Structure 1
Amino acid sequence: MLITEDLCIKILDKCPDIKQLKKIHCRLIIDGNLVSASHIALKLMKAYSECRQIAVTRQLFDEFPQKDVVFFNVMIRSYVNNEFYEKALRMYRNMFKFNINPDHFTVPQVLKACSVSENLWVGLQTHVAVLKKGLHSNLYVGNGLITMYGKCNRLLEGRQVFDEMPSRDIVSWNAMVAAYAQNRMFEDALEICKTMMQCSTSKPNAGTMASLSPALTTSTSSTNVMFMKEMFMNHARESLISWNVMIAVYVNNSMPKDAVNLYQQMENYGIDPDSITVASILPACGDLSALLLGRKIHSYVKTKRLLPNLTVENALIDMYAKCGSLNEARKVFDEMPTRDVVSWTSMVSAYGMTGDGETAITVFSNMQNSGIAPDSISFVPVLSACSHAGLLNQGKHFFKLMTEEYNIIPRLEHLACMVDLLGRSGRINEAYDFIKKMKTKPNDRIWGALLSACKVHSNMEIGLVAADHLFELVPEQAGYYVLLSNIYAKAGRFKDVTNIRSIMKSKGVKKEPGVSNVELNNQVHSFLAGDQSHPQSKQIYQELEVLVGKMRDFGYVPEVDSALHDIEDEDKGNHLAVHSEKLAIVFVIINTKAFTPIRITKNLRVCEDCHIAAKLISKIVEREIILRDTNRFHHFKNGICSCGDYW
């Protein structure tokens, strides 16, 4: 059967699969000269390109005897769409050998190739050709130039093109926003976006949100976050990209509760999350210990068959680990068809945070045996695991392994782990000598680790040295004043405690309020010390009073030393009784069935009094309490904590 020209075009326009395409091609060759018609040849080239058969596309191009600018445009576009950017630029240069001038369809594709490959030299040459040919007023050419200059870190040239454009569309504005954001000029990116919002012809859309995301996800300015939220609410709410960007903005600006609320709104709007949404929201679930929501998302991932997906699986491991559910984290890990260094590192970190240093070391060794070389990030959790478990010799071994076998230059994170490891083990002088021998200038984390160790082991002399460095480096950081205050209190030097409090007042240094989060029925509840804003506050305080009475029967006496720096009220025992952890624990007790585990996340280190109280409560109510503070996990069960009172 002879194939007609109309039938051929109709089939090729439908983007046939490769098998059907080859049949059509063979039929055209058998049936006669139809394949030699330029418009049919071009259709075949485009179809093969869409099937990623770029070699056949090039063969058709080479075999056609009379090539015009359209043939070159199709070939260049084919290379660009299939990510052969250098070949696209070589094809562009070949045009001039054939005395064929590029047109307004050629230039945007060439500029895209220059952008991705960051080939500024060809980009500049193309800009010169654009000016000579009078193509600079073309909208698509202008957009391509802005993108190219942004990718090549030539913001002045890109802005000049933008300012001189006779007309702009949404792509022009987004290209300029992206150019600034990619070059970390975040304030300029936001200013362009704000100007854009005032423009009557172009309004922000999902592309703007995506372009702005590098600026907002790395920014800690509450004003910028509110601006992004306003844009999201007013202009881009209907797009999945916009929801994803806004969730990422909240997560990366330490606003996990807002991220979770937004995710739940997204579900209410009937918008199906994709793998990007899932990978973005799972860290927020981990930060809040929102295990039920995390499990629900995991179930959704399975239902929608979003697995295997390395990014999502790694996020699931991290979420379960942060929620204190090691078994579920390990199950995800064991079921992964492939693992990368992030997967292994997350598992090492999971065991390390719970104080299971031996298993953390085993997982780290298994990673090495699997053929995956640990990177500098991988050594942080294994060193930290050794520190939390008191494994001094093993920690020293891994530090030596990192520096001598893997030739990794220690970063401040590794050095802080070593100071913490030595300090926790009571090697205060050795830790101090380690700091003095460091080639890198110590930061506040390193001196803070030393100060914490001095507090535990009552080393006043070195503790004061560490405190002096801390007050110079971070004079506004209240936590270090608190540590020094506790050292004085422990030594009975209450006059010095008063002096520390006076210094804090004179400098305007205020302790960050402790916040404890707990999840119930897919909703996260937050508590502050002495908080009475919760609808169940009356019932919580009544139950807490009963519990404190039972705790006293077990010999509980409030650990008031840790409160001396903190309050004016002399009734420190009563103040400690209403710390946020205790309120959160009681809230779960009165709202769940017996034996239900209690999971809490706190933004600060758990105080000694709350640690003692949690141990007693776990015994009294016969419940496991999983509390994650800024340092580690505490698994309280039957009056014992997994940390062995070593935190």
Structure 2
Amino acid sequence: MSLNGRAPLFCSALYSVKAAHSKALKTGQLLWDLHFSTRLLNGYTRFGGVDQGCQLFDELSVYSETKGVALDVVCWNSIITGLIQSGRDVMGFQYFNHMRVYFSNHCCRNDFEFDRDMGPDSYTLSSLLSSSYCLEKNGNPGLQLHGYAVKSGVISSISVGNALITLYATWGFVPDSRRVFEAMPRRNVVSWTAIISGYAQQNDYKEESLRTFVAMMREEDLRPNQFTLASIFSSCSKLGSLSLGLQLIALALKIGLISDIHVQNSIVGFYSECGCVEEAKSVFESIANPDLVSWNSLLKGYSQLGQGKESFIAFEDMLTRGETPDSITFLSVLSACRHTGMVSEGLELVRTMKIDHGIEPQFEHVSCVIDLLARAGQLRQAKEFIEGMQCELSDSVWRTLLGACRVHGNAELAGLAASKLLELDHSGREAHVVLSNFYAAREDWKKVGELRKLFREKGGSKEPGCSWIEVANRVHSFVASDWNHPTMNEIQTLLMFLTDHIRVLIMKDDIDCWV
């Protein structure tokens, strides 16, 4: 039912919803027309009137009890979704629990007009599973909803399956995401994008994301959307595969997504990760209306190549165009300052970050400034900067200072940094390894022996390093102490040849210096 020719669902502003509500109260329409009331409830939750929406819902609930008319699922979903979208996740879950009790209690009552199959549906579950409360909690809420979905039968819904894939992937439980994906009776491009994105977010599954993308294209004959391409570009970036990324750019051009800002931003990020900052800048300049992600992707490219001046120019251009920076923006520019030794500029940036933009420096920013000062040999200033910070410091800050002490041979500060690192790092791995390297550089082998003995007694071991290289359009990964590479024999043979060749060159240089 409409009011003055307009349905409340499509009211353009909150005041229009309130006006419609007021007129409905005067005419009595609100009390007897639950369909109209539900649309009015949608208007409140959609345009920022969640409190009024909750009040309206509670009034409808009381009225339905007195008249023996059940509130339908759509009405419950309206208030739950509105609460979730407004950031009131806990209240949304409270209403969900009320909803379950409501339908459970009333399904056996004969004085209600009630469909016994009614209750939380796929829309309810997918909204709750996508909430920040679920995504940030590694446990009960999401797992309980998964169990309820299985028990109630809505697990077969595509929207619920997609939400569960994203949920487990966000937690880092990639095998669980895959199990949900495989069990889905039907999948759409969102399902494939969710699992591809889940793989892309984890360092150990980058290649699997590429294989899944190929399977989506070949086996299912599905056309990727802009979010699929953005996820797969992320995997290419992490693998450092320039050739594969170029093929994806050609695909985006072919299917008409090259002008989508999500795709363009991911291409800028891809080029930046691969060190092709000029190409990244060219794509950035082709974006009609660059958003914050666009700017951050470009600034990250300057940061990785240590182009501090270019980073500052782009940052100033960004402010001139009216774009508001966030913490990631400042981190990228600070990182560029760190690589180019722009100490005064970096310190001024941190100051303006808090005073002019109201962004409190986090431990990542502090770590960047510490590294900036440490590279300039200003260790005492780095210590004073740490002491002046009010944010909670992570082990990375002290690890950075400890590494700088190793470079500059400051044993006093090294001891302080190591003790702080041991307090924060319960395993002690980082502190022991870095401090051991510090004493090794000073040739204090007694200290090195004591530290390594203590580390072994604690059952510690140094995590192996890993590196990637692309040869002939194929990415090879190498892990320290791993002998399972398929071409290990050839690699060893070549390594021995290179080692012998280097020895010959060294001997030749030694001989030449005497001639």
User: Structure 2 length as normaliser, TM-score?
Assistant: 0.84
Q: How does 1:534-549 map to 2 (within 5 A)?
A: 534-549=485-500
Contact 1:250–1:259 under 8 Å retained in 2: yes
SS of the equivalent of 1:218 reads helix
TM superposition shift of 1:288: 1.5
CA distance in 1, matches of 2:295, 2:451: 44
CA distance in 2, matches of 1:275, 1:332: 16
Q: How does 1:335-484 map to 2 (within 5 A)?
A: 335-406=286-357, 408-476=359-427, 478-484=429-435
CA distance in 1, matches of 2:479, 2:166: 32
Question: Is residue 316 of structure 1 aligned with residue 267 of structure 2?
Answer: yes
Question: Is residue 96 of structure 1 aligned with residue 25 of structure 2?
Answer: yes
Match of 1:124 among 40, 46, 58: 58
CA distance in 2, matches of 1:493, 1:284: 43
CA distance in 1, matches of 2:249, 2:120: 36
Q: Deviations over 1:470-503 (max 9, x none)?
A: 1101222623321111001111122322232233
Query: What is the match of residue 211 of structure 2?
Result: 261
CA distance 1:89–1:276, change in 2 (3 Å): farther
Contact 1:232–1:242 under 8 Å retained in 2: yes
Match of 1:112 among 30, 42, 47: 42
TM superposition shift of 1:229: 1.5
Query: What is the match of residue 516 of structure 1?
Result: 467
Query: What is the match of residue 147 of structure 2?
Result: 194
Instruction: Give runs of ≥4 in structure 1 deviating > 6 Å.
Output: none
Question: Is residue 279 of structure 1 aligned with residue 230 of structure 2?
Answer: yes
CA distance 1:215–1:102, change in 2 (3 Å): farther
CA distance 1:89–1:293, change in 2 (3 Å): farther
Which stretch has the larger CA shift, 437-446 or 269-278?
Answer: 437-446
Q: How does 1:135-284 map to 2 (within 5 A)?
A: 135-136=69-70, 138-148=72-82, 150-151=84-85, 152=88, 153-154=90-91, 155-165=93-103, 166=107, 167=116, 172-176=121-125, 178-179=127-128, 181-185=130-134, 186=137, 187=139, 188-199=141-152, 201-212=153-164, 215-220=167-172, 222=173, 225-235=174-184, 238-254=187-203, 255-268=205-218, 269-284=220-235
Q: How does 1:323-338 map to 2 (within 5 A)?
A: 323-338=274-289
Which stretch has the larger CA shift, 344-353 or 109-118?
Answer: 109-118
Q: How does 1:494-643 map to 2 (within 5 A)?
A: 494-519=445-470, 524-555=475-506
Structure that is richer in helix per residue? 2
CA distance in 2, matches of 1:290, 1:171: 45
Q: Deviations over 1:348-378 (max 9, x none)?
A: 2212212232322332233334443544332
Which stretch has the larger CA shift, 512-521 or 311-320?
Answer: 512-521
CA distance in 1, matches of 2:502, 2:278: 31
Contact 2:238–2:273 under 8 Å retained in 1: yes
Query: What is the match of residue 87 of structure 1?
Result: 16
Contact 1:114–1:122 under 8 Å retained in 2: no
CA distance 1:541–1:170, change in 2 (3 Å): farther
CA distance in 1, matches of 2:151, 2:309: 59
User: Which residue identity is paired with 1:484?
Assistant: L
Q: Deviations over 1:258-301 (max 9, x none)?
A: 32222222122211110111222222221121222222222222
CA distance 1:416–1:496, change in 2 (3 Å): same
- Percent pairwise identity: 26
Report 1 or 2 for greater relative contact order, CA contacts < 8 Å, sequence distance ≥ 6.
Answer: 1
SS of the equivalent of 1:409 reads coil
CA distance in 2, matches of 1:171, 1:307: 40
| Greater radius of gyration (CA) | 1
Query: What is the match of residue 251 of structure 2?
Result: 300
CA distance 1:213–1:227, change in 2 (3 Å): closer
CA distance in 1, matches of 2:279, 2:428: 36
Q: Deviations over 1:171-197 (max 9, x none)?
A: 624414532651514432222213422
CA distance 1:181–1:500, change in 2 (3 Å): farther
CA distance 1:145–1:338, change in 2 (3 Å): closer
Contact 2:9–2:43 under 8 Å retained in 1: yes
CA distance in 2, matches of 1:369, 1:137: 52
CA distance 1:519–1:106, change in 2 (3 Å): farther
Contact 1:159–1:176 under 8 Å retained in 2: no
User: Structure 1 length as normaliser, TM-score?
Assistant: 0.68
CA distance in 2, matches of 1:439, 1:242: 43
Total equivalences in the alignment: 481
CA distance 1:527–1:89, change in 2 (3 Å): farther
CA distance in 2, matches of 1:550, 1:386: 40
Query: What is the match of residue 511 of structure 2?
Result: none
Contact 1:204–1:231 under 8 Å retained in 2: no
Q: Which runs of 5+ in 1 are unaligned?
A: 1-69, 557-647
User: Which residue identity is paired with 2:238?
Assistant: D
